[in-house]
A = this chain, B = another copy of it.
Amino acid sequence: MKPFPTKDVTRVWARLVKAQQIVLASIEQRLKAAKLPPLAWYDTLLELERAEGRGLRPFELEREMLLAQYNLSRLVDRLEEEGYVERRPFEGDGRGQLIAITVSGKSMRRRMWAVYGPEIQCAFGDHLTPRQAKSLGALLGLLIEKSPGRRRLKT
């Protein structure tokens, strides 16, 4: 049995896509205008900075960020070429590695935040009261929590 959504539910889904698109596009535009890397680099650097000390395994990063393995592999290539991250062998499992953020990577993340942060406020935060933001967060939380435990994106 495959139940179809009501028109209302469909409309709300369409709005979710559109709202995200509008805000995301304005953020990417600002980053580009400031000659900074795309948002995916920020997300990666942030995850790595939060894991400071340890660094992260590629597959951990992959799951956290909902990226396919091959996709992440090449993203890390680019970040490494620019000197923002380092790959280190992982002691204890010869298959694995640890990705760690460099000093230069932390600096770039901060420079990106100087553009990203204000644009979140301008394109997103400014349109919601604190109450509305809280309410939106709770509703989105329902969609995220209930999602059937992060499956891998690749077979």
B-contacting residues of A (Cβ < 8 Å)? 2-6, 8-13, 15-25, 66, 114, 117-118, 120-125, 127-128, 130, 132-137, 139-144, 146-147, 153
Say yes or no: A127 contacts B146, CB within 8 Å.
Answer: yes
Copies in the complex: 2
Could you tell me the distance between the alpha carbons of A66 and B120 in the complex, rounded to whole angstroms? 19
Given A132-B139, A136-B12, A140-B12, do A121 and B153 touch, yes or no (CB 8 Å)?
no
Given A66-B18, A66-B25, A144-B19, do A9 and B139 touch, yes or no (CB 8 Å)?
no
Given contacts A8-B137, A9-B124, A127-B146, 7 further A-B contacts (CB under 8 A): A2-B121, A12-B133, A16-B136, A19-B140, A21-B66, A25-B153, A124-B143
Could you tell me the distance between the alpha carbons of A100 and B73 in the complex, rounded to whole angstroms? 41
Could you tell me the distance between the alpha carbons of A109 and B97 in the complex, rounded to whole angstroms? 45
